[in-house]
Amino acid sequence: MADKIKDAKIIFVVGGPGSGKGTQCEKVVAKYGYTHLSSGDLLRAEVASGSERGKQLQAIMQKGELVPLDTVLDMIKDAMIAKADVSKGFLIDGYPREVKQGEEFEKKIGAPALLLYVDAKSETMVKRLMKRGETSGRADDNEETIKKRLDLYYKATEPVITFYEGRGIVRKVHYATLGSDL
Ligand SMILES: Nc1ncnc2c1ncn2[C@@H]1O[C@H](COP(=O)(O)OP(=O)(O)O)[C@@H](O)[C@H]1O
Ligand SMILES: Nc1ncnc2c1ncn2[C@H]1C[C@H](O)[C@@H](COP(=O)(O)OP(=O)(O)O)O1
Ligand SMILES: [Mg+2]
């Protein structure tokens, strides 16, 4: 099964909470036809299913913490396999959240061709998330959880960008300016 995605083109999409990862991914999908997989969306689908595992995930996400690595990696891998036959490439949005997640992904699936870094100032992210929280119904779009998610982003996720900069595969995306060197 995993053989099906062995040679897939993989693009990691990394940025702070509310930086616009999902929004930029939609633009890439429209332009290049890649398959968009958001770790957060996959987790929220599990929560919505009402399963016991979903309840545990919901409690973690509500606190602004990271869910266990194996859980999220297995979900992404299953989703990739399900789309392998129809996909030109994969946008992996919201993963890796820490360097270890990147390492495990590479061991189990493969190496990314590119990392899209969606950059935004922390004030901008907070403002957007507070606004999104008015309608999103997301348990983590509230002031207290947003603060925790931002702290965790700077502590755990920014090092991911430095790690892949060392490999020369990081492309920074600022607002709606998607380069044509994708
Ligand atoms: N370039 C932008 N300018 C203004 N608002 C934006 C921009 N990109 C995203 N947003 C808004 O910010 C919020 C967070 O965007 P989203 O794509 O959901 O971010 P993420 O997936 O990184 O959490 C959304 O409400 C979205 O409409
Ligand atoms: N790769 C990952 N590892 C662990 N937890 C993750 C994860 N991706 C998402 N989650 C959990 C923790 C996040 O705070 C929550 C929401 O993720 P998200 O939808 O990517 O949010 P956002 O991009 O707005 O920060 O889901
Ligand atoms: Mg998102």
Specify the CATH number of the domain 2-174.
3.40.50.300
CB 109 within 8 A of CB 77: yes
Alpha-carbon Rg of the chain, whole angstroms? 16
pLDDT above 70 as % of the chain: 95
Ligand 1 contact, 30 CB (< 6 A):
no
pLDDT at position 148 is 98
Ligand 1 atom 2 nearest Cα: 175
pLDDT at position 175 is 59
State which residues of the chain have pLDDT below 50: 179-182
pLDDT digits (tens, 9 = 90+) for 141-161: 999 999 999 999 999 999 999
Rounded-to-integer distance, Cα 140 and Cα 40, Å: 11
In the reported structure, the alpha carbon of residue 39 is separated from the centroid of ligand 3 by a whole-number distance in angstroms of: 8
Ligand 2 atom with the shortest distance to the CA of 73:
1
Rounded-to-integer distance, Cα 160 and Cα 30, Å: 27
**9 C-beta neighbours (distance < 10 Å), count:** 15
Ligand 1 atom 3 nearest Cα: 175
pLDDT at position 179 is 47
Ligand 2 atom with the shortest distance to the CA of 16:
25
